[in-house]
Structure 1
Amino acid sequence: MIISLWGDSAISDALASELKLRPTPIFRSGRRIPFVNIAGLPAMYVATVSEVGIGAAHSTDVTMYVAGTMMSGRVVPFPDGADGVIGATLLSNFDAELDLHSNKLNLYAPGHCGGASVFWASSYAAVPFTFDPIGDVVLDMQLDGKDVSVIPTLEMEHARMGITALEEIFGIEKDSPMLKPTGQGDDLLRYPFHSLNLGGLTINNPAIEIYRDKPSQRCNGKREGYRICWGGADVRLGLAELQRLHLFFAFPEKTLYLTPAGGEPHRLVEQAATAPESTSSLPVSLHCGVVPLEGAFVQDGPSGYATAKVSVDINSTSDPSALRVTPTSPAVCTVSAKKPAIIASSSFSIEKGSPPASDDAAKHVDVQESVSGQGSDKRYIFTVKAKDMWKGELTLTFPTVIAKRHVSSAGQREEI
């Protein structure tokens, strides 16, 4: 079965026939039978399944959609090996722990344990959620400081946002020069967003794909001509973002508890053998994706010189504590200062690879550097992307020079 965070559950036409079920139309109409979309598949019928079991959990007389056949009669097949979809409305009978980084789903008897449910980490974020009219999980997030509604989805690789929502929320029109093609051979665009925040966890420089839609396609429950659409949100989070998170849906509380994948945030950092200066005293921070890497920088040379190291998995999940990149899922690391200090300079180098030849690893990864902001708001942004499907691991090193800002009676000056 496919696990989905969209509302309803479904089985395939083939499984309905095998179980000798008697599907009935969703709506009885003299003209045509409407259909709904279940995890990207059309459904025009429902059926009652006598028993549904997920591990040791069982439910009886479950109403499920029968999906896969369009009104034309053409069959849209389920992915190989799948016979149906388990959606949020069925999962909401449990508490659900979702660890996509490790490909694990754990279901628990619904309880009221609060933050005690987060047994894998000492700190976490807690975010309330709601269900939209068709049963999708909806979260509130902040995208570049603007409130946006978000639906987490397991059916898409990357986060997506319609160009209509982009214009309504940010005033960015479809012909803006800030919109650039993704370069993936499709009609998708990308806008340089800076941050997506969920309950205190921040995704820096989120790679949100912008698709072209029309105002009539905005799914907000408002009538557009003869059409009304329920369900939908400003942004849909995809696997690239959700794989960086460890999620616990406490459905009775309607609360999502989450941490960075792998448990404690510091695990992405290459641990230094010695730290000549206390890392907490260094006025510089490193974020990679949603993970704030506390203590990443250590003094490396004279005062003001610091270095951070981060493990990167290329097309691999062999190390759950490493930063994972693929050709379609880049990672973004941001170096920024803690006020009143500023970053005088920051760069990167590839220190080692696994397989051992770092020069070989360097051939298969691309690191692009950019600078944003000025003064204490100056940030160095490093986008890490796999060039091909080569698998291996390397360590990225970020040598950085920190400048301390002083104010004297003669005015302001900067001193390294």
Structure 2
Amino acid sequence: MKTSHLRTIGIVCAASAALAGLALASEVAAGPSRADLALLAGVMQLVQQDYVHPVDSRQLTDAALKGMLSRLDPHSSYMTEAEFRESREDISGKFGGVGLKVTDHNGSPTVLSPIDDTPGARAGLQPGDEIVSVDGQTTRGVDLMEVIRKIRGQPGTTVTLTIQRGRQSPFEVPLTRQIIRVHSVKSRLEPNDVGYLRISEFGEETPNELHQAISTLQHEAGGKLAGLVLDLRNDPGGLLASAVDVSSDFLNGGTVVSIRGRNANDDQLFTAPATSALLPDTPMVVLVNGASASASEIVAGALQDRHRATVMGTQSFGKGSVQTIIPIKDHGALRLTSALYYTPSGRSIQGDGITPDVLVEAAKDEQVANSLVWREAQLHGAFANPGVLPKSDASPAAKSASAEATSPPIKEQLIGSDRDTQLKAALKYLERLPAGNPAIIHTSVPG
């Protein structure tokens, strides 16, 4: 029996609204033994008979599936029907909540990044903030999706989060919920006709929003941009298809990313159309940092390997795995890590991340104070980097040891502002490029 799958590479759970609930395939190679199934059934029966309170069998089944999937790696999980429905709202770019991207860090729900212009961002919540309780109820040991459900609610109502920030004493942050409409692309024209584009996440509408933003920038620049900064800092990822589409907007043909799974039948190669580049001769800089993950790393890695852009900033997060959403009839869905992805030169980003061509750290007063500087390789159960593929159609960018340094990410509210040191460095870099060179790689920050 066939199942319908959706590839997603974001850290936050995501699924397509178009997926219909389908039964899982029963033809599974080396399936569970009868003894294993009997053990599970026997334990469930004992719990239902002898536990101090009555427990519904559906509740036990959901808990067993959650435990099973969560032990595999940091990104595999089981979603109940309600969680699956909520995850589809995430991808549609409209949901009720406070505007926080949250991930599980060693058993604690942790802010990956606040979404621009939302209650969470306006309250000053920062990457690395640990959510220790929601409305006075601890989050320790609670499933991540359950924590997210508690944070969400009816627009206009209030939720109080208790935050642990580094070594500071925990503090409470009351937030008023609202309808969150995520516009993932922001743009503006900088001096000297240089375009600035920021992608905050990769959702279904991101490619369309990007096209509109580029068209507006070109019009404001009198028809031609002198340079472009693509800002992927603090972008936690999203949909693989959106990452491929965005990369293709800057490439004429060739490989964007490849996927390698357990079986050769799962391998896929994603390429850009031969004439898809919107700005073929415009010099580009891509900005990344330690909070740039998955889809952001695909785009940065593709443009770096294809020598289309200079990557600046600090080492990225290093999430190089692909999750497939598998709906289960009359239940929820599995979010199962099914493959690893590779840049055009055959590099796996898993655990390593993207090393910038030009190392530029945010100024000390711009960095998130007491931020936890953690990366994919530090997550419990994360896969090791498998190495480079033997064949590829692009040469990897030179790797500078000094460029592998990590530092706390920039404060969300300062991204793109007049105080943004990394953006200033990117603009200065573009000013020094000779005309007609879309990307020139250096290994030191321009003075």
Please, what TM-score do these two structures have when normalized by structure 1? 0.26
Mark the structure with the bigger radius of gyration.
1
Which of 1 and 2 has higher RCO (CA within 8 Å, sep 6+)? 2
- Which structure: greater helix fraction? 2
